[in-house]
Amino acid sequence: MRILTAVILFALWLVLSATYDPAHVIVGAVVSALVAWLNPALPHMRRLSWFAALAYQPWLFGRILKSGLHVSRLILDPKLPISPELVRHKTKFTRDGELVALGNSITLTPGTITVEVAPGELVVHAIDEESRKDLLDGSFEAKIAGVFAATEGER
Amino acid sequence: MSWLGIALIVIGLFFLVVGSIGMLRLPDVFSRAHALSVTDSLGALFVLLGLAVYEGFNTNFLRIIVVLGLIYLLNPVIAHATVRAAYRSGLRPGKGDDQ
């Protein structure tokens, strides 16, 4: 697992430095290996469903685009028809990875933003009724559960 | 290809402007955070995507994609930290900043 971390870090180094003389490449390789060796391996990572994680991105982008246009319309509306409210959002997720994925997705989507996170419950601020409904339909949970499906039973 | 890039940048600029207007019009820190997420999720996305397309496929293209990935990971964290700090210091939505 740490080898994979080192490889990813090294790839990032190559992209960001974009100088390919031996000195830079060797420094990059040594530093990547050192960082991967010093840090504990990320839990869950090896059991993620990478395909589901990849498929989740375009879906999430669709949601972001849709609600982004909705929030833009709200902002540009002369009457400013917002009804902001804090919502307690129950979730079946209790582990860090799932909560981070869910909280980040909710915040990334315009119109909803995660205020507090606890296992099993999120406090979410929604800007209007439609954003609230989008949150409640549970499709975020369904998709993220698919990504973490392989880690089930590792509690 | 350069026209596609320019078109994407203009779309991004539109969302950046909308986000800024929202920052001015919306009443409190929570709803302003929504304007911010329009700026970052859509504005920055389209501007950077436009730059990437304009640049063509080379190392700068890859760098821009890495920046985009980082924005999508980090921006929600910052927005969340901000509103959580507001929430914990007693601010509640719908009352304006000077409740």
pLDDT per residue over B2-13, tens digit each?
A: 889 899 999 999
Which of B11, B14, B32, B38 to probe the A interface (max A CBs under 10 A)?
Answer: B38
Q: Which residue has the higher pLDDT, A76 or A148?
A: A76
Contact residues on chain B for A113, CB-CB shorter than 8 A? 30, 33-34, 37, 79-80, 83
A107 CB within 8 Å of a chain B CB = yes
Tell me which residue of A57, A149, A73, A154 sits closest to A108, measured CA to CA. Answer: A57
Closest residue of B to A18, CA-based?
Answer: B59
**pLDDT confidence of residue A43:** 62
Q: Is there a domain that residue B84 lies in?
A: yes
Q: Is residue B43 part of a domain?
A: yes
What local confidence, expressed as pLDDT, does residue B96 receive? 52
Q: What is the pLDDT of residues B49-76, one digit of tens each?
A: 999 888 887 778 888 888 888 888 888 8
- Residue B98 inside a domain? The answer is no
Q: Specify the DSSP class assigned to residue A148.
A: T
Residue A151: pLDDT above 70?
no
Can you give the pLDDT at residue A137?
78
What pLDDT, on a 0 to 100 scale, did the predictor assign at position A25? Answer: 92
**Partner-chain contact B37 A110, CB within 8 Å:** yes
Q: Which residues of B touch A (CB under 8 A)?
A: 15, 18-19, 21-22, 25-28, 30-31, 33-35, 37-38, 41-42, 59, 62-63, 66, 72-73, 75-77, 79-80, 83-84, 87, 92-94
Q: In Å, how far are A125, B49, B93 from B29, measured between CA atoms? A: 11, 29, 8
The single residue listed with the structure tokens 């999720």 is: B41
pLDDT at A45: 60
What are the contacts of B51-54 at 24+ separation with CB within 8 A? Answer: B51/B5, B51/B9, B52/B5, B53/B1, B53/B4, B53/B5, B53/B8, B54/B1, B54/B2, B54/B5, B54/B6, B54/B9
Number of structural domains (chain B) is 1
Is the Cβ–Cβ distance between A102 and A91 less than 8 Å?
Answer: yes
Question: Does residue B93 lie within any of the structural domains?
Answer: no
pLDDT at B31 over 80: yes
Boundaries of domain holding B55 = 2-88
